[in-house]
Structure 1
Amino acid sequence: MRDTPVQAGGGRDRASMVAQARQAIEEGSQSFAAASKLFDQRTRERAWLLYAWCRRCDDIADNQDKGGPLGDQGDLKSAEDRVQAIRVLTRRAFAEQPTADPAFDGFGMVADECGLTPDMANDVISGFALDATGWAPSNERDMLRYCYHVAGAVGVMMAKVMDVPEDDGDTLDRACDLGLAFQMANIARDIVEDADAGRCYLPAEWLAEKGWEQGEHALPENRFELASLMPRLIALMEKHEAAARLGAARLRFRQRWAVLAAANIYGAIGRKVLDRGQLAWDRRVVVPGYEKAWHVLTAFGQAIANRSEGPDEPIIWTRHDYRPVAGW
């Protein structure tokens, strides 16, 4: 029997994978799609290929379609089986073997081009594994570790897509910070939606301060008190957002512009949740097109000026602080 040829992308045509990845990002995230268009063509295509893998993994793990409503989660075993399928397909992609899925084949291509490693991918897949076990954070550190797995680790891979070298650890740390900030904005926006699916990403310690068990925090009668936790969450988001801007300052102009645009748009989501108070979850918080255009324009000026002060407190953390420790 003839062996399957080893070839990055599983032998698929690169242009077709890029086209499908572009469709995935336009359907899955208008915010990322808008920011990605500011990249140069090479970076843009690679970012799309990376996004398509993240989106497909998320859809498989949550049994959903293009980030839509969560599908039937089945039992714990079926959720773990879905995560195992992600691991198997990703390993095949790294081995330059065909996966029968263009998102995974495209990931194999971008991994080959940018030097992404299995450890980087496994850090992201670990976030899906946490969800599959019904995990919830006990404290703020747990929440940040979850944010690392589902978004901070993606930020590190995005930095590699933008040609940040492996030995530039500080810039990789700041790319991780941007992912952390993005995910905290998502947590703030989706609290009630997540609770409806039996999930909670706010620390149990925060809920205990209000006398709540998990799930009670999202009840309509508790929304006023829930809103009182948002200054704490959004301040943490803004700390990591400010740190991320220091890393963006070291990127090439178009990369810096795209990153700052994404930071502006996702930061706006978190700040909208904060500003709406107890009404924040009556309808989904969105950044409409005209606001996105303004944030892109603002980012253009920020990219030209290229002056970032960073967070108010000294940066004493690195991305490694959010990776798992023994027993977690």
Structure 2
Amino acid sequence: MGIEYAMVHVLYTIPPAVLLTLLYQPLISKLDLYKIGFLVTIAVLATVPWDSYLIRNCIWTYPSNVIIGPTLFDIPAEELFFFVIQTYTTSILYLMLSKATFQLPYLRAEPKLKRRRVSNNTSWRLCRIAGQLFFAGAIIASIGMIRDNGRASYMGLIALWAAPFLLLLWSLAYQFILGLPLINTALPILIPTLYLWHVDTLALQRGTWVIASGTKLGVHLWDGLEIEEAVFFLITNTLVVFGLLAFDNAVAVLESFPDTFRNVPSLPSPILLVKALLLSATDYDEKRLLCIQDAANRLKRKSRSFYLASSTFSGKLRVDLLLLYSWCRVADDMVDDAATPKQAHASIRDLEDLLREEYRHRYPSSVVRSFREHFCAPIPNLSDGNQAISQLPLRFLAKKHFEDMLLGFKQDLEFADPPPCEQSVHWPIITERDLETYARRVAGTVAMLCLQLVFYHFKTGLDEVERTEILSAGARTGVALQYVNIARDIAVDARMNRVYLPQEWLKEEGLTARDVLQDPDSLGIKRLRSRLLDRAFRIYEEARGAIEKLPQETRGPMRVAVESYMEIGRVLREEHYTVKAGKATVPTLRRIKVAWRALRG
């Protein structure tokens, strides 16, 4: 009886698990815990018979003076714990590295095969087949190594145990395995593998566990590390990560296609996960996938703060929030990027018609086509695309909020032809009340739509009065965010002949709108920027308590979404800040710190 093996855990396996847990704790969700528990259970059940066989056949052994004593099927308790702690640590690392990645866009629809038609996904099919052949070949080779009953026995047993699982996981989730960024796939395998190679080297050198000399090749990766042990830890970490990728692939399918999988629970059963994985890629809704991909790309390109915040949301709520943002962004761009005021007004009319038709549950022809030209990239081999608003649960979203947003866009167009004189009455933002009305239309409405999506996806237990109060606070928060946006973009807006600072404020500083257009960085304008930011933070402080009344699953993510943007206001208050494309930006590390603090509450 001894504690040497137990000390390996105390010194080397438990500390990184604890550290990663503390770092990831603010981000962890019920689905994450379910995922980890699922993987740990599978890992233990799959490894115990194999490990027991190796021990009973003396392929590897544990001296009695290094283990505490209790065993299960001859497997020491410390070894059983290794199955759990390795799977847990690799899983936590995978979750950390993949959290920022929106995985749904990595699903790829495959067209149904037709005679004489060459699929654009041929290369993907070839990769899938190549992987299947590789793992099938490993199974065949492992049988030969075991039959020889010689020095390749241990390597053969490793391959025979792992290759069938890898073949299955590859066949089910090859799209995610191949398509996701390496930070999601390779790093979660390589980092724990390199670390465990170091731990294993120390254990082998100290004799904590011993491999029988007649069953190993005698090749070392480096001094003290048997090649079989190196392969073992590489394969086991690959199994864990492939299992997590398959799990996430299944969840992505469940979240992407609500028409196929209705009433999906927050913790899907293993049977439902398997059904999702078995859904053929030829049955994927390609138009919906395109719109999800387009929405994710647009958010990442247009707003890094909100893109980071979106990673803290989960499930179908995240999908709908992305689609909502994308629609609002595209609608705004259709107006702002119009070649002439006449074209911009026509775009607003088209958007109004589109809303009217969508809320009637019909698909117009010319209107939708006009919108699609600005929104969705063309789908190969299809004449039409789709648009985000057709994918949203509109029956739970108030049409008035969309209409008020378009009123805000119309207010933007009043800047299109600035008056030749300095009469302030000609400018649309005259008083602070005008500014608040504008901000409520273009941002407060979006906040209320986001909250309505929260109420749709989560049971809140709130009565109508409480919901109304939260929506009102959300609208106020949207106003605060828009004030920050205006404060940041004074110079950018000036280049578009737009001045959102109230004329009465300018008059108090002895300025006019023309002065802002000519010198948006003057001392007087800086004082007004500070005034606008003070007003933004005052409104935010008054409204922020409503976040804590939201469902628990959404409180942290909502705090991240708001705090990430309010941090821009804090940056603007500093003497020196980074400017990119004419706008103040928050450094990436600082955004991460803000998000982490917001999640912790």
Q: Report the TM range for the smaller structure's normalisation.
A: 0.7 to 0.9
Shift of 1:79: 2.5
Secondary structure, counterpart of 1:228 in structure 2: helix
In 2: Cα distance, 1:234 partner to 1:189 partner: 9
Q: Which has the higher contact order (CA 8 A, sep 6+)?
A: 1
Shift of 1:145: 0.5
Match of residue 476, structure 2, among 177, 197, 205: 177
In 2: Cα distance, 1:56 partner to 1:282 partner: 20
Alpha-carbon contact 2:414-2:428 (below 8 Å) kept: no
| Bigger mean CA deviation after superposition, 273-282 or 103-112 | 273-282
Alignment match, 2:397: 116
| Bigger mean CA deviation after superposition, 171-180 or 253-262 | 253-262
In 1: Cα distance, 2:297 partner to 2:336 partner: 20
2:359 partner amino acid: F
1:85 aligns with 2:350: yes
Identity fraction in percent: 26
In 1: Cα distance, 2:528 partner to 2:576 partner: 10
Structure 2: runs of 5+ lacking an equivalent: 1-258, 260-284, 377-385, 416-426, 457-461
Question: Structure 1 pair 15/222, CA: closer, same or farther in 2 (3 Å)?
Answer: closer
Report how many aligned residue pairs link the two structures.
Answer: 283
Secondary structure, counterpart of 1:163 in structure 2: helix
In 1: Cα distance, 2:429 partner to 2:387 partner: 33
1:94 aligns with 2:359: yes
Secondary structure, counterpart of 1:97 in structure 2: coil
In 1: Cα distance, 2:521 partner to 2:300 partner: 35
Shift of 1:18: 2.1
Alpha-carbon contact 2:490-2:520 (below 8 Å) kept: no
After the TM superposition, which residues 119-158 of structure 1 pair with which residues of structure 2 at under 5 Å, given as runs?
119-134=400-415, 136-158=428-450
Shift of 1:23: 1.8
Alignment match, 2:328: 54
1:105 aligns with 2:387: yes
Q: 1:180-223 CA deviation, whole Å, 9 max, x = no partner? A: 11110110000011011100110000111122221302544861
CA RMSD after TM alignment: 2.6
Alignment match, 2:200: none
1:21 aligns with 2:295: yes
Alpha-carbon contact 2:492-2:583 (below 8 Å) kept: no
Q: 1:210-239 CA deviation, whole Å, 9 max, x = no partner? A: 222213025448611211122321111012
Shift of 1:281: 10
| Bigger mean CA deviation after superposition, 223-232 or 142-151 | 223-232
In 1: Cα distance, 2:542 partner to 2:511 partner: 32
1:29 partner amino acid: S
TM-score under structure 2 length normalisation: 0.44
Indicate the structure (1 or 2) with the bigger Cα radius of gyration.
Answer: 2
Q: 1:35-78 CA deviation, whole Å, 9 max, x = no partner? A: 11111211100101100110110110111xxxxxxx64x2x433
In 2: Cα distance, 1:273 partner to 1:216 partner: 21
1:286 partner amino acid: T
Question: Structure 1 pair 250/284, CA: closer, same or farther in 2 (3 Å)?
Answer: same
In 2: Cα distance, 1:143 partner to 1:169 partner: 23
After the TM superposition, which residues 70-81 of structure 1 pair with which residues of structure 2 at under 5 Å, given as runs?
72=339, 74=340, 76-81=341-346
Alpha-carbon contact 2:497-2:517 (below 8 Å) kept: no
Question: Structure 1 pair 279/163, CA: closer, same or farther in 2 (3 Å)?
Answer: closer
TM-score under structure 1 length normalisation: 0.79
Alpha-carbon contact 1:25-1:33 (below 8 Å) kept: yes
